[in-house]
Amino acid sequence: MSSAFSKRMQKTATRLLGTYGSSVNLIRAGTKVWDPVEGEYVVSPSVTIPLNSVPVPVNVALVNGTTIQAGDMIVRADHSVLPKTEDKVSFNGAEWSIVAIETKMVNDDVIAWFIQVRK
């Protein structure tokens, strides 16, 4: 159930990440579309979506070598874009693969996404 408090938390997270966040982009791969002229499936170009987010390194104490590896980062993003595991994240001139996505919620509203990424 959505509430005034959870909506206020969404706005606060978006404002703070927009003010103090970094330049991070979500790269969504193009979809396969049937081209009747070519007579085959054609992949549309990928789409770059800017994120209100900040990348932070994973706490060294959490590295276990399997699900969390040394060098992994957590991109903390606001609720405005729904990330998917097949997307990529781009920041600091590098493209990172999404390993896991954690949802941060208040009541039924998504406040933020914690996206674990790996080179």
The pLDDT profile of the chain, 119 residues, written as one tens digit per residue, is 778 999 999 999 999 998 998 899 999 998 888 989 989 999 889 999 999 999 999 988 889 988 999 999 999 999 999 999 999 999 989 999 999 999 999 988 999 999 999 99
4: which residues sit within 8 A by CB, 6+ positions away?
A: none
> How far is it, in rounded angstroms, from Cα 70 to Cα 65?
7
Q: What pLDDT score does 96 carry?
A: 97
Residue reference for tokens 């996404």 = 113
Q: What pLDDT score does 102 carry?
A: 96
DSSP-assigned letter for residue 44: P
> How far is it, in rounded angstroms, from Cα 34 to Cα 62?
45
Q: What are the φ and ψ backbone dihedral angles of 65, each rounded to 5 degrees?
A: 85, -10
